[in-house]
Chain A
Amino acid sequence: MDTWTLLLEGFATALQPIYLLYALLGVLLGTAVGVLPGIGPAMTVALLLPITYSLEPTAAFIVFAGIYYGGMYGGSTTSILLNTPGESASIVTALEGNKMARAGRGAAALATAAIGSFVAGTIATVLLTLLAPTVARFAVSLGPADYFALMVIAFLTVGALLGDSAWRGMVSLAVGLFIGLIGVDTLTGQSRFTFGVPQLGDGIDVVLVAVGLFALGEALYVGSRLRHGTIPIIPITRGWRTWMRRSDWARSWKSWLRGAAIGFPIGSIPAGGADVATFLSYATERSVAKPEYRKQFGKGAIEGVAGPEAANNAAAAGVLVPLLTLGIPTTATAAIMLSAFQTYGIQPGPRLFETQSALVWALIASLFIGNTLLLVLNLPLVGMWVKLLQIPRPYLYAGILVFAGLGAYAANFTVFDIGVLLVLGVLGFFMRRLGFPIAPLVVGAILGPMAEEQLRKAMQIGQGDPSYLVQSPFAIVAYVAMALIIALALWLKRRRARFEASLPPADTVAIATLDEEIESQQPHPELDRGRLSTQALPRQRSTSNHPEGPDVGGDG
């Protein structure tokens, strides 16, 4: 097969020692920032965009691929071990994994998350390998109107589906599109919204948008509401003999496969990204679980960790399908990676597999390698990741600011950009405070100029007739699919919100009792739980999403 030869060539590139080193660097960095609270993969890739100014493209993308996958692994470690309400993307893992950890089964939760991520990530990468060239071959025949349709889909799904409410997402999207408009129009040479400032003539650099909103905005926001005092970390056993018992394997493997099957397709269509995939997987696991296990859900069911984690990673690989074959990003991280491609003058899209074949296949091969490295590194190094969780927060966020400054200054080497970054950071700060999602803004700012270009090309071909935009069968199918996706996803979101609101807080003792009870029903050799301690935990604090206390302010 042609694909396989190309993939093998990709492996030949990616397995060179120097690239292996870059892959290792990428996964370590990715896991580290995934573990660190407050830093996600989007922020990391944004902060590391400056390396694209000096590294060659293959090396840079191998690093980015490592960060992308590593970030997914790291996030689950945090939500399992850290006793605070987590981010929404990993909320279902936090739901079950955190409760498993509090009942003394943290090692098993970490193991099933890591192995499940590996299994699903590998399956999804195989699917990506098989699917991407086919999609690319098909996409070559698409015209500007079709591309415009695809971009509208990406805009509307990202805008309507991420965040609290559809309108808030659309506001964020519109602000992003506006930021994308600033600068001299390439077609007519007219400056738009530059307010006479010459530095704005080239437009606002995408690096600034990403770093300002993700790094600076996040640091300011966390700084304004920093949790003081030590954050309790759930202790786990030292030895790894009790990782996963036979019953854990038996309960996990089907969930991993189901998670991969749910995650990959959802990741590859623009339907709100990994959030939707993890929730769907969780709901599926709960409904197919045997009755005696089902009552464990919400109190630390291992399927509830295995499935969503697998789905999360499979979705991450799925996101790469539209990114590489069509040049359409469906998440913020993908949008920033797209801009990294553009820094090199490479345009992701159907031609990418022809013009940059070596680069693409090396990138795909490095996904396989990164996945394997993560499995090998992650479980033994969990002690190190736990140490990372203990970095004093003042230094962590001050360090983020330093790298934000580096990213801003290195974009054009003018201090003017530092000022632009501050404006964007303050915008991001208020958007976080007031419940506006950030991702639509970033996608709008990056994809907006490309969409305008396609729209104008299409209008040229169609001789100024707007109905040309909906004439090709592909465009019609795309718009219909968009309407369906949005309707379905909004319904799912409502279900999820209702479901999360209905979760009762469970206390550790009840979880442990239920766990014992289930174990006593199944024959397995070791009942070794004695060395695990749950005593170090403050019991009064629940993992529920709503902080309790007399003076909860501002979230009404």
Chain B
Amino acid sequence: MSTASAGAPEQGASAAARAERSARIEAMIFVGLLVVLAVGVLISTTTIREPPGSTNTLGARVVPYAVGVLLLVSSLAVLVGQLRGRFGHPEAGEDIDLAHGTAWIPTGILALSFVSLMVTIPFLGWPLGVTILFAGASLALGAKRWWVAVLIGLAMGVVTQLVFGTLLGLSLPPTGTLTSWIGI
């Protein structure tokens, strides 16, 4: 697919070329990691212990070997394809703007907000954990007013706690070790 449209300013064209180059490097690294994973699968399959049993049945190693080979062959095929210039196209969608570059910082904050649940659920409980996740994620994505984000987050936390915890009986912790003094 041709990238820079005809008549684009010099600067735009070089930026597009740079973006394309970095996308290609990223694709090569990803596929390279897949090849490494495949080799890793094959090597660690040899360490799966095979208890001596009847010869009629397949042991625990056969399918892992097959999967490892499939992964190795297919990722090598993709690698060769990429060396010949056949790269994949990023997925399109209604909310996705492929014309601009990747916003890495918001994406990082999104991932961090999500992982924060690992800490916030045990220490602060589910509703407050959700509040932090929601506020962090929506602000990273460009929500305008922080207090609206916090309020919606808190509302979502309480509502999901009530619906899934109280009504449907999932054991979501209402408070954590730091907030147990709230005493719900």
Q: Which residues of A contact B (CB under 8 A)?
A: 37-38, 50-51, 53-55, 78, 82, 84-88, 164-165, 167-168, 170-171, 173-175, 177-178, 181, 185, 187-190, 192-193, 216, 219-228, 231, 392-395, 397-399, 401-406, 409-410, 413, 415, 418-419, 421-422, 425-426, 429-430, 432-436, 448, 452, 455-456, 459-460, 463-464, 545-556
- B88 pairs with A435, CB closer than 8 A: yes
- A188 pairs with B164, CB closer than 8 A: no
Bound: A425/B137 CA distance, A: 15
- B152 pairs with A452, CB closer than 8 A: no
Name A452's closest neighbour in chain B (CB-CB).
B63
Q: Report chain B residues within 8 Å CB of A221.
A: 91, 96
> Which of A88, A165, A181, A429 has the most chain B CB atoms inside 10 A of its CB?
A181
Q: Report chain A residues within 8 Å CB of B119.
A: 415
Q: Could you mark each residue 153-177 of chain B with 1 if its beta carbon is under 8 Å from any beta carbon of chain A, else 0?
A: 1001100100010001111100000
Q: Which residues of B contact A (CB under 8 A)?
A: 1-5, 8-9, 12-13, 15-16, 18-20, 22-24, 26-27, 30-31, 34, 37-38, 41, 44-45, 48-51, 53, 55-60, 63-64, 67-68, 70-71, 73-75, 77-78, 81, 86-104, 106-107, 110-111, 113-115, 117-119, 121-122, 126, 129-130, 133-135, 137-143, 149, 152-153, 156-157, 160, 164, 168-172
Q: Report chain A residues within 8 Å CB of B98.
A: 225, 547, 552-555
State which of B45, B48, B81, B135 has its C-beta within 8 Å of the C-beta of A167.
B81
Given A181-B64, A409-B117, A418-B118, the answer on whether A554 and B130 have CB atoms closer than 8 Å is: no
Bound: A226/B51 CA distance, A: 52
Offer 25 A-B interface pairs, CB within 8 angstroms, sorted by A.
Answer: A55-B168, A85-B92, A167-B74, A170-B77, A171-B71, A171-B78, A174-B67, A174-B75, A188-B50, A188-B51, A225-B90, A394-B139, A398-B137, A402-B156, A409-B117, A409-B172, A415-B117, A418-B115, A425-B114, A459-B57, A550-B4, A551-B8, A552-B99, A553-B23, A556-B2
> Which of A185, A419, A434, A464 has the most chain B CB atoms inside 10 A of its CB?
A434
State which of B15, B44, B121 has its C-beta within 8 Å of the C-beta of A409.
B121
Name B11's closest neighbour in chain A (CB-CB).
A550
A174-B70, A216-B114 known, 20 other contacts, Cβ within 8 Å: A88-B92, A167-B74, A168-B78, A181-B63, A190-B50, A220-B110, A222-B96, A394-B137, A394-B143, A395-B143, A397-B138, A401-B113, A434-B27, A435-B87, A464-B56, A550-B12, A551-B16, A552-B4, A554-B22, A554-B23
Bound: A204/B16 CA distance, A: 40
Tell me how far the C-beta of B23 lies from the nearest C-beta in chain A, rounded to whole angstroms: 3
- B63 pairs with A455, CB closer than 8 A: yes
> Which of A436, A459, A555 has the most chain B CB atoms inside 10 A of its CB?
A555
- A456 pairs with B58, CB closer than 8 A: yes
Per CB-CB distance, the 10 closest pairs between chain A and chain B, nearest first, are A435-B88, A553-B19, A550-B12, A37-B94, A554-B23, A394-B141, A174-B71, A550-B8, A170-B74, A398-B137
Name A545's closest neighbour in chain B (CB-CB).
B92
Bound: A402/B168 CA distance, A: 17
Name A501's closest neighbour in chain B (CB-CB).
B1
Given A175-B34, A418-B117, the answer on whether A432 and B90 have CB atoms closer than 8 Å is: yes
State which of A54, A226, A435, A553 has its C-beta within 8 Å of the C-beta of B16.
A553
Given A38-B94, A165-B81, A398-B137, the answer on whether A554 and B88 have CB atoms closer than 8 Å is: no
Bound: A421/B133 CA distance, A: 15
Bound: A177/B143 CA distance, A: 39
- B90 pairs with A193, CB closer than 8 A: no
Name A451's closest neighbour in chain B (CB-CB).
B63
Q: Report chain B residues within 8 Å CB of A413.
A: 171
Given A216-B114, A227-B96, the answer on whether A165 and B137 have CB atoms closer than 8 Å is: no
Given A187-B60, A555-B1, the answer on whether A224 and B87 have CB atoms closer than 8 Å is: no
- A226 pairs with B134, CB closer than 8 A: no
Given A167-B77, A178-B41, the answer on whether A223 and B115 have CB atoms closer than 8 Å is: no
- B60 pairs with A192, CB closer than 8 A: yes
- B94 pairs with A459, CB closer than 8 A: no
Q: Report chain A residues within 8 Å CB of B171.
A: 413
Given A174-B74, A550-B8, the answer on whether A226 and B90 have CB atoms closer than 8 Å is: no
Tell me how far the C-beta of A500 lies from the nearest C-beta in chain B, rounded to whole angstroms: 12
- B1 pairs with A223, CB closer than 8 A: no
Bound: A146/B89 CA distance, A: 37
- A54 pairs with B169, CB closer than 8 A: yes
- B142 pairs with A394, CB closer than 8 A: yes
Bound: A53/B170 CA distance, A: 8
Given A221-B96, A226-B142, the answer on whether A398 and B90 have CB atoms closer than 8 Å is: no
Bound: A225/B143 CA distance, A: 15
Q: Report chain B residues within 8 Å CB of A228.
A: 97, 142
Tell me how far the C-beta of B86 lies from the nearest C-beta in chain A, rounded to whole angstroms: 7
- A415 pairs with B118, CB closer than 8 A: yes
Q: Report chain B residues within 8 Å CB of A222.
A: 93, 95-96
Given A190-B51, A398-B137, A550-B5, the answer on whether A226 and B99 have CB atoms closer than 8 Å is: no
Bound: A54/B26 CA distance, A: 43
Bound: A258/B107 CA distance, A: 45
Q: Report chain A residues within 8 Å CB of B9.
A: 550
Tell me how far the C-beta of A212 lies from the nearest C-beta in chain B, rounded to whole angstroms: 10
Q: Report chain A residues within 8 Å CB of B164.
A: 50, 406, 410
Tell me how far the C-beta of A215 lies from the nearest C-beta in chain B, rounded to whole angstroms: 10
- A38 pairs with B93, CB closer than 8 A: yes
Name B38's closest neighbour in chain A (CB-CB).
A174
Given A405-B130, A551-B100, A556-B87, the answer on whether A219 and B110 have CB atoms closer than 8 Å is: yes
Tell me how far the C-beta of B26 lies from the nearest C-beta in chain A, rounded to whole angstroms: 7
Bound: A550/B126 CA distance, A: 45
- B96 pairs with A435, CB closer than 8 A: no
